[in-house]
């Protein structure tokens, strides 16, 4: 793994873990703090599954899948052109994946707290690691469209 990717990934990982700990130690489970009425709350929940609680209760399976995905990601990274966008993309992915993996390993669940209601839809609660992962995927998708994955 390239040094820049590792350093940035550690920064994203630490930010995610610190925010999760801040929420975990200062909020009660299933309680909300309204930040923007009818739009955005901080709501502490424990997610025992993956996105939208998919595979809830299968923590060991999710850990195994995550480790396999990290290995695949590491090998896939070698195919990409080295530039700022791709460095950030892989850093976001590693940082986010590590953050959620650490929660699963230590607690058996992931701490989620970002709670949005968008046009009346109560979106599933998520965390910054999830944001990092989605942004990383979007940036890699751009790289693929620009044919930067064929080195």
* 3-state DSSP assignment of residue 40: strand
* Mean pLDDT score, 36-47: 96
Band of residue 53 on the pLDDT scale cut at 50, 70, 90: confident
Alpha helices, DSSP H, located in 27-126: 59-77, 84-107
Buried b (16+ CB within 10 A) or exposed e, 122-146: eeebbbbbbebbebbeebbeebeee
H or E stretch including 122? strand 121-122
Residues with catalytic annotation?
112, 130
Cα–Cα dist 66/63, whole Å: 5
Helices (H), the chain: 3-26, 59-77, 84-107, 128-145
81-109 pLDDT, tens digit each: 999 999 999 999 999 999 999 999 999 99
Whole-number percent of the chain with pLDDT over 70: 99
pLDDT tens, position by position, 100-139? 999 999 999 999 999 999 988 999 999 999 999 999 999 9
């Amino acid at each position: 793994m390239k040094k820049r990717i590792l350093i940035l990934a550690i920064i994203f990982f630490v930010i995610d873990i610190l925010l999760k700990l801040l929420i975990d130690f200062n909020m009660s489970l299933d309680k909300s703090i309204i930040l923007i009425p009818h739009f955005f709350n901080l709501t502490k929940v424990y997610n025992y599954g993956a996105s939208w609680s998919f595979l809830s209760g299968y923590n060991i399976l999710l850990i195994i899948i995550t480790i396999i995905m990290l290995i695949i990601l590491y090998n896939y990274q070698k195919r990409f052109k080295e530039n700022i966008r791709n460095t950030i993309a892989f850093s976001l992915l590693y940082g986010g994946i590590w953050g959620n993996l650490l929660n699963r390993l230590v607690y058996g669940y992931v701490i989620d707290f970002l709670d949005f209601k968008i046009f009346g839809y109560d979106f599933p609660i998520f965390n910054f690691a999830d944001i990092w992962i989605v942004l990383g995927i979007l940036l890699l998708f751009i790289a693929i469209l620009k044919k930067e994955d064929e080195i």
